[in-house]
Structure 1
Amino acid sequence: MKSQASTLLAEVRTFRQNHPDVRYVDLIALDIPGHFYGKRYPIEMLEKVAAGSPLKLPQNAVLLGVQGGLFKIGDYCFHDGDPDANRRLVPGTLKPVSWESQPLGQMLITSDGTEAPIEFEPREVLAKVLERLHHKGIHPVVAFELEFYLFDKKLDNGLPQFARDPLSNDTDDQPNLHIERLSRFSEVLDDMAQTAKDQGIDITVITAELGPGQFEINFGHLDDGLRAADWAALFCRSTRGVALKHGYRASFMAKPYLQFPGSGMHLHVSLYDGAGNNVLAAHQQQPLRHAVAGCLELLPHCMPIFSPNHNAFRRLGGTVNAATRASWGFEDRDACVRIPDSDPRNLRIEHRLASADANPYLVLAAILVGLEHGLEAKREPIAPLNEDRSSGTDFPVEMLDAVRAMQHQPVLRDKLGAEFIDVYCENKRQDHLAFQQEINAREYRWFL
């Protein structure tokens, strides 16, 4: 503990030396829906926290719904007195915020690693999964890919407007993978990439996707699953901020347009043993088949994580490369679980089902549990799409059905934690019911 405090204190002091104009730092963590909550601390107080002073925030901040409200979930929120819970600073995450009008810093905080971690905090859920895998001698290497849309900064009666091509000042209508789109939007994209790098994120490939104003940015492979999920969360925050600075609105909403592709969160995951050998590649890749079978078995029960809101379910089975059933295949982007072509050292799965607005900590945790379950159960998977285009198993396509499928699944309750499963399912159920409590214009047109 003394060593960690010394490291954190040195990090804060170095930051102050390098950024003397920064007076405040946002201490932030991700809640269940995938939004940041936290507090803005004077830099002097942050130094005291780094030196060992307590850092406490309300425990129930993790339980906030999509709109920031609290739901009655078991004994939480309205029967527990709204207690504080300890948090800690995440080393290496104190970085400058360049997209605000005034100099500012930000730093991740978490309850994992404290004396009483919050069982349903997303980062803590992932931390427990990773710790269990490490005890079993399994070490994941992870890379996230995130798709997002750029819109005009101004909404039109609450509806998004197409991003304007900076060259022609007209709607962005260049085709998929057209390199000219990257050039025309280079100013904002370059700023997004550089800002992410300033946050410590390893940005690699940038792609112009099929939708108007849609792009994808990939991250480097990382042997620290927590940090990989940190990167995804922080990237979403910085990208939104940079877009606003340039006159755009960036969104990771899963399906902003019915007629265009949705935005996904793709994860590449490989597993290694303590000697650095690829676990999936052993014994003529038999562990890979087992791991795929485990992912597909649990996938229908993880849908509230992969599609965390009403809009995310709209993305499934839409235009291109969006699966309608739990499936797998080699070099097949129609599959939920794709096996990219690679040498044995880099053999991995690419999990393609999650929406871009899903919680990255929980998505990674769910995928790893599927892989873990498959390696333990050692079952054969269904036929890959390469052999049978109709291969696949059904999964829920509505939230309430998905919650029912998740809540009592024994493997998930055991490996993700029963308390987390109950809290998460009730949070999703209440959010979905709250979403339904509005009569829209179409409903009046149809039924008035």
Structure 2
Amino acid sequence: MKSHSSTLLAEVRSFRQNHPDVRYVDLIALDIPGHFYGKRYPVEMLEKVAAGGPLKLPQNAVLLGVQGGLFKIGDYCFNDGDPDANRRLVPGTLKPVSWESQPLGQMLITSDGTQAPIEFEPREVLAKVLERLHHKGIHPVVAFELEFYLFDKQLDNGLPQFARDPLSDDADDQPNLHIERLSRFSEVLDDMAQTAKDQGIDITVITAELGPGQFEINFGHLDDGLRAADWAALFCRSTRGVALKHGYRASFMAKPYLQFPGSGMHVHVSLYDGAGNNILAAHQQQPLRHAVAGCLELLPHCMPIFSPNHNAFRRLGGTVNAATRASWGFEDRDACVRIPESDPRNLRIEHRLASADANPYLVLAAILVGLEYGLDAKREPIAPLNDDRNSGTDFPLEMLEAVRAMQHQAVLRDKLGAEFVDVYCENKRQDHLAFQQEINAREYRWFL
């Protein structure tokens, strides 16, 4: 513990020396819906925390709904006295914030690794899955890909407007994959990429996607699953901030336009043993088939994680490369689980179902549990789409049905934690019911 504190203290002191104008640091963590919560600390107080001082935040901050409200979930929130819970600083995440008007820093915090971790904190859920895999001699290597849209900064009666083309000042309202769009929006995209790199995130490929104003950013592969999910979470935060600075609004909303493709979170995962051998490639790729089978079997029960809100379910089907059934295939982007072409050393799965606004810690945890279950059960998967275009199993396409499918699934309760599953499902159910408590203009138009 002393060595750990010394490392953190050195990190804080180095940051202060390199950024003497920064007076405050945001200490942040991701809640269940995937939003950051936290506290703004004077940087001199941060030294005390790094040296081993207490860092406490309300336990129930993790339970916030999409709109920030608290729901009654068991005894949490209203019958538990709203207790504090210990958090710790995540080493290596203290970075400058460049998109605010005043100099600022930020640093991730978490309850995992404390004496009493919060069982339903997303980062803690993933940490437990990774620890169990490591004890089995399984070491994941992970890379995220995130799609997002740029909109005009100003909304039109609450509705998004197409981003303005910087060269013509016309709306970028034409769907295309043209490389020229990267040039036209290069100022904001370059700033997003550089800002992410300043946060310690390894940005690789930038792509203009099919939707108007839609882009994709790829991250480098990491042998630290927690850090890979940290990157995805931090990228969303910095990208929104940079977009506003340039007069845009960046959104990871799953389906902002019905007529255009939605935005997804694609996750590449390969598995290695302690000697560095690719587990999926062994024995003529039989473990790969088992892992795929496990992913597909659990996928229908993980839909509240992969599609975490009403809008996310709109993304499934109806447009390119978005499946409505649990399927797999080699080099097939219509599949939920795609096997990209690669050499045996880099053989991996690409999980393509999650929406871009899903919680990256929970998405990765659910994928890894599926792979783990498949390797243990050793079942054969259904036919790939390459052999049968109709292959696939149904999964829920509506939140309340999805919650029912998840809550009583024995493998998920065992591998993700029964307390987490109960809390998460009730959070999603309450959020969905709260979303329904508004009558919009269309409802009056149809039924008045």
> TM-score, with normalisation over the residues of structure 1?
1.00
Counterpart of 1:331?
331
Task: Check the 8 A contact 1:188/1:243 in 2, yes or no.
Answer: yes
Question: Separation in 2 of the partners of 1:70 and 1:101?
Answer: 31
Aligned to 2:423: 423
Render the CA deviation track for 1:17-51: whole Å, top value 9, x for unaligned.
Answer: 00000000000000000000000000010000000
Aligned to 2:318: 318
SS of the aligned residue for 1:67 comes to: coil
Q: Secondary structure at the match of 1:41?
A: strand
Provide Cα deviations, 1:259-313, integer angstroms capped at 9, x if missing partner.
0000000000000000000000000000000000000000000000000000000
Correspondence 1:266 to 2:275? no
Unaligned runs of 5+ in 2: none
Cα distance, 1:59 vs structure 2 = 0.1
Secondary structure of 1:320's aligned partner: coil
SS at match of 2:326: coil
1:383 aligns with 2:383: yes
Distance in 2 (alpha carbons) for counterparts of 1:349 and 1:174 = 32
Deviations along 1:127-157, one digit per CA (max 9) or x if unpaired, are: 0000000000000000000000000000000
Question: What is the alpha-carbon distance in structure 2 between the residues aligned to residue 434 and residue 192 of structure 1?
Answer: 34
Distance between the aligned counterparts of 1:314 and 1:219, measured in 2?
26
* Structure 1 CA distance for aligned equivalents of residues 51 and 382 of structure 2: 54
Partners of 2:174 and 2:413 in 1: CA distance: 46
Give CA-to-partner distance per residue, 1:370-402, whole Å, 9 cap, x none: 000000000000000000000000000000000
1:166-205: CA deviations, max 9, x gaps?
A: 0011111455321100000000000000000000000000
- Using the alignment, how far apart are the partners of 2:174 and 2:261 within structure 1? 14
The total of aligned residue pairs comes to: 448
For 1:151 and 1:87, the matched residues in 2 are separated by 36
Contact kept, 8 Å, 1:255 with 1:261, in 2: the verdict is yes
> Is residue 37–residue 61 contact of structure 1 (8 Å, CA) maintained in 2?
yes
8 Å Cα contact 1:280/1:348 also seen in 2? yes
Cα distance in structure 2, aligned partners of 1:127 and 1:174: 42
Cα distance between partner residues in 2 of 1:197 and 1:186: 16
Structure 2: how far apart are the matches of 1:331 and 1:172? 30
CA distance in 1, matches of 2:319, 2:268: 22
CA distance in 1, matches of 2:309, 2:379: 31
SS in 1 for 2:319: coil
Task: Compute the TM-score of the two structures, normalised by the length of structure 2.
Answer: 1.00
Residues 140 and 225 in structure 2, CA contact (< 8 A), matched pair in contact too: yes
Q: Secondary structure at the match of 2:223?
A: coil
Aligned 8 A contact 1:174 1:181 in 2: no
Contact kept in structure 1, 2:162 and 2:173, CA below 8 Å: no
8 Å contact from structure 2 (residues 141, 225) kept in 1: yes
Please give the alpha-carbon distance, in whole angstroms, between the structure 1 residues aligned to 2:58 and 2:42.
19
Are the counterparts in 2 of residues 254 and 355 from structure 1 also a CA contact under 8 Å?
yes
Across the aligned residues of Structure 1 and Structure 2, the Cα RMSD in angstroms comes to 0.5
Q: After TM superposition, which residue ranges in structure 1, 4 or more long, deviate above 6 angstroms?
A: none
Aligned mates of 2:14, 2:187 — CA distance in 1: 30
Contact kept, 8 Å, 1:143 with 1:269, in 2: the verdict is yes
Pairwise CA distance, 1:109: 0.0
Task: Indicate if the aligned counterparts of 2:5 and 2:50 stay in contact, CA closer than 8 A.
Answer: yes
1:42 equivalent to 2:42? Answer yes
Q: Distance in 2 between matches of 1:324 and 1:86?
A: 41
The 8 Å contact of residues 307 and 355 in structure 2, kept in 1 or not, is answered as yes
Q: Give, in whole Å, the separation in 2 of the partners of 1:232 and 1:72.
A: 29
The answer to whether the 8 A contact 1:323-1:335 is kept is yes
Q: What are the equivalent positions in structure 2 for 1:169-208 lying under 5 Å apart?
A: 169-173=169-173, 175-208=175-208
Inter-partner Cα distance in structure 1 for 2:175 and 2:229: 31
- What residue number does 2:66 align with? 66
Per-residue deviation, residues 216-245 of structure 1 (Å, max 9, x unmatched): 000000000000000000000000000000
User: Contact 2:329/2:337 (CA < 8 Å) preserved in 1?
Assistant: yes
Q: Larger deviation: 168-177 or 199-208? A: 168-177
In the alignment, which residue of structure 2 is the partner of 1:116? 116
2:152–2:163 contact (8 Å) kept in structure 1: yes
Q: Is the 8 A contact 1:302 1:406 kept in 2?
A: yes
Instruction: Please give the alpha-carbon distance, in whole angstroms, between the structure 1 residues aligned to 2:219 and 2:189.
Output: 14
Assess if the C-alpha contact under 8 Å between 2:163 and 2:248 holds in 1: yes
Contact (CA 8 Å) 1:328, 1:336: kept in 2 or not?
A: yes
Give unpaired runs (5+ residues) of structure 1. none
Q: Please give the alpha-carbon distance, in whole angstroms, between the structure 2 residues aligned to 1:167 and 1:291.
A: 48
| Offset, 1:252 | 0.1
CA distance in 2, matches of 1:405, 1:68: 26
Structure 1: distance between partners of 2:70 and 2:446 = 33
Measure, in 2, the Cα distance between the counterparts of 1:63 and 1:7.
31
